[in-house]
Structure 1
Amino acid sequence: MFQIPGIVMPKSILVITDVHETDHCSLKKAHQIAAPLGAEIDVVRFIKTNGIDSPDSVGVEQQSEALTASLENIFADSEQKRTITSQVIVTDDIVTWVVNYCHDKSFDLVIKAGHRSETLFHTPCDWELIRNLRVPVLIASQQCWKHKPAVLAAVDPEAKDDIHHELNHAILEWAGKWARTFDCTIHLVYSLPVSNIMKELDIIDLEEYAREHRAEGEDKLATLLNGHNLKNVNFHVTAGAPERTIPHCANELKAELVIMGSMGRSGIQGMLIGNVAEKVMHHLRTDSLIIERQK
């Protein structure tokens, strides 16, 4: 039995925003999430230098005023508006700045609006933050949460090594905390592994394979839940590549949030092999909470 340190719901949230963000997505998500938590909020808006050694101070001041006005408007009905801190930072290296800032401040959660513009040789800021931060990252969508939101947590009950075991249990801990705070309906999805050869040769019907192994998969999910205070959890057993099955399941459930673990691959390995969580997120149009493995 692997012991996971007790996970508390976030009490200190870092919100990353930028001038090109659509409809203040990250700020509105922070307002929606932080209100029931009573969490402290620290907002940072980034401006790129565009190769200029001394950025226009007038532009920075204008962005500061605009950010303050946005916060006053979005958090007008919140008691937290008096305690929100905000700043505008000029840098071309957002990831390094955020990693250092999180190390010094010990945030419990980072919120950022999603940007999905990756190519093989370009890793977006989203991916870099997920790979380098030891703090859970919520990549926010434009979607607003319903009254009783559905949360989909992706786990692997077949995990053999300690790191994957710990990720499974951390995901379940976060799902439980989220459910109790926001009155969510929790769904667990397990994607049965299928060899690429079988898929490429078209000698396996994925839906039939999932049906045949559903009872076995549900038993494994139930075993994984032992020791977690999660009630009325819905099980979903699928077959095939997680980057296809998890978004499909999220879409079918109209889930507001998908919780996943990340192995945090970086460098050449990350570029060529990638990370399952990143591949899944590419196909999601909902909020994603990424739990990074602890190194």
Structure 2
Amino acid sequence: MKQILVIADLPGNKPKALAKAKLVAEALDAQVTVLSFVHEQLKHLPDNLSNAQQQEVQQSLIEQRQQWLERQLKDTGLNDASVQTQVIWEKNIAQWVEAYGRRHRHDLIIKTGHRTENLFYTPTDWHLLRTSSAPVLLVAEKKWKKQHNVLVTLDLGSKLQSKQALNRQLLATGIEWVRHFGGELHVAYCLPMSPMLKDLMGLSAKKIATQARQQYLPLIQEMAGDYPISEKQLHIKAGEPDKVLPSMAADVNAGLVAIGTVGRKGLKGKLLGNTAEQILTLLKTDVMAIQP
């Protein structure tokens, strides 16, 4: 991860994304580009203002935001000459970032994840998770811990090459993270089994998990290469991922959870989201979301 794109927090909020970007950039020796978005409805301005005068108002707001951003960068220690900044007049942040990502290659996008009253994250965050070709790091509201554990979630039951490749990418990301920031690496897999089927077949969830652990541990160790992963670092439970994974994250004291996302397109995606988004409604950690 050598090129980091940061979406700065809005004025009035703590600069969590910038603070996290500083830590990541220093650890990975990465270049940072910081974007700040500003947009105001100008319809309430007097009708007798010309287009040129309205443009002057817009430019004044952009310049004020640029000055504010420079103060934020100085306060967080990100005012190095190599850090690029840009203030953009745009309402639809996610759409702008998506188009920007097609023109510029970045290895990581960092943004603070914001709660709303009826969704865990705002539509901007959902859109980034669905469409970004680069990994997205959503920073949690709680204070960053330099020493923390990482939980990597894998889909071990899938035989699709794209899912297997994503598993390797997720595991490699988790290994890189703990090597730079410390903590323990843990791996999670949710066995796709409903309570109804388990009861109908008289199956023991503990026995099934034990068998699965024996089956998948060698595969995970092979994927991890020279990074040692023991049996105690592999966590397998039967159940729905959005119910099981948050409890796993809490059990291992995870500060970061790495998940794979497969964004649905069209109306179905807007209505249903995906498993990753359901998991996010309960997680209280930083989240690294990676597309195949």
Q: Return the TM-score normalized by structure 2.
A: 0.86
Unpaired segments of 5 or more residues in structure 2? 44-53
Q: Distance in 2 between matches of 1:48 and 1:204?
A: 57
Q: Distance in 2 between matches of 1:147 and 1:137?
A: 19
**In the TM superposition, what is the alpha-carbon distance from 1:111 to its structure 2 partner?**
0.3
**Alpha-carbon spacing, 1:221–1:20, altered in 2? closer, same or farther (3 Å):** farther
Check whether the contact 2:115–2:122 (CA below 8 A) recurs between aligned residues: no
Residues 1:17 and 2:11 are matched in the alignment: no
Residues 1:130 and 2:121 are matched in the alignment: no
**Alpha-carbon spacing, 1:118–1:194, altered in 2? closer, same or farther (3 Å):** farther
Q: Name which one, 1 or 2, has greater alpha-carbon Rg.
A: 2
What are the Cα deviations for residues 146-165 of structure 1, in whole angstroms up to 9, with x where unaligned?
Answer: 34320000112111222211
1:43 paired residue among 34, 42, 67: 34
**In the TM superposition, what is the alpha-carbon distance from 1:269 to its structure 2 partner?**
2.0
Residues 1:231 and 2:233 are matched in the alignment: no
Q: Distance in 2 between matches of 1:147 and 1:119?
A: 31
Match of 1:216 in 2: 211
Match of 1:157 in 2: 156
Check whether the contact 2:135–2:288 (CA below 8 A) recurs between aligned residues: yes
Check whether the contact 2:259–2:276 (CA below 8 A) recurs between aligned residues: yes
The code of the aligned residue for 1:216 comes to Q
The code of the aligned residue for 1:81 comes to D
Of stretches 49-58 and 185-194 in structure 1, the one that deviates more from structure 2 is 49-58
The code of the aligned residue for 1:11 comes to K
Matches within 5 A, 1:188-267: 188-195=187-194, 197-198=196-197, 209-225=204-220, 226-229=222-225, 230-233=227-230, 234-267=233-266
What are the Cα deviations for residues 56-87 of structure 1, in whole angstroms up to 9, with x where unaligned?
Answer: 32222111111100101101xx6x72211112
The code of the aligned residue for 2:205 comes to A
Q: Distance in 2 between matches of 1:286 and 1:93?
A: 26
**Alpha-carbon spacing, 1:265–1:150, altered in 2? closer, same or farther (3 Å):** same
Check whether the contact 1:153–1:260 (CA below 8 A) recurs between aligned residues: yes
Q: Distance in 1 between matches of 2:12 and 2:206?
A: 42
**In the TM superposition, what is the alpha-carbon distance from 1:273 to its structure 2 partner?**
3.3
Matches within 5 A, 1:64-75: 64-75=66-77
Check whether the contact 2:152–2:259 (CA below 8 A) recurs between aligned residues: yes
Match of 2:46 in 1: none
What are the Cα deviations for residues 22-48 of structure 1, in whole angstroms up to 9, with x where unaligned?
Answer: 311111111122111111110001112
**Alpha-carbon spacing, 1:56–1:256, altered in 2? closer, same or farther (3 Å):** same
Q: Distance in 2 between matches of 1:147 and 1:291?
A: 22
The code of the aligned residue for 1:236 comes to H
What are the Cα deviations for residues 195-228 of structure 1, in whole angstroms up to 9, with x where unaligned?
Answer: 37448xx7699xx843122222212331331142
**In the TM superposition, what is the alpha-carbon distance from 1:51 to its structure 2 partner?**
5.8
2:64 paired residue among 62, 86, 96: 62
Match of 1:3 in 2: none
Q: Distance in 2 between matches of 1:130 and 1:51?
A: 31
Check whether the contact 1:118–1:124 (CA below 8 A) recurs between aligned residues: no
Matches within 5 A, 1:38-117: 38-50=29-41, 54=55, 56-75=58-77, 81-117=80-116
Match of 2:17 in 1: 26
**In the TM superposition, what is the alpha-carbon distance from 1:50 to its structure 2 partner?**
2.7
Give the percent of matched residue pairs that are identical in Structure 1 and Structure 2: 32
**In the TM superposition, what is the alpha-carbon distance from 1:168 to its structure 2 partner?**
1.1
Q: Give the RMSD, CA atoms, in angstroms.
A: 2.5
Check whether the contact 1:218–1:237 (CA below 8 A) recurs between aligned residues: yes
Q: Distance in 2 between matches of 1:212 and 1:86?
A: 54
Q: Distance in 1 between matches of 2:190 and 2:150?
A: 16
Unpaired segments of 5 or more residues in structure 1? 1-9
Match of 2:172 in 1: 173
Check whether the contact 2:168–2:223 (CA below 8 A) recurs between aligned residues: no
**SS at structure 2 position matched to 1:13:** strand
Of stretches 24-33 and 219-228 in structure 1, the one that deviates more from structure 2 is 219-228
**SS at structure 1 position matched to 2:4:** strand
The code of the aligned residue for 1:94 comes to I
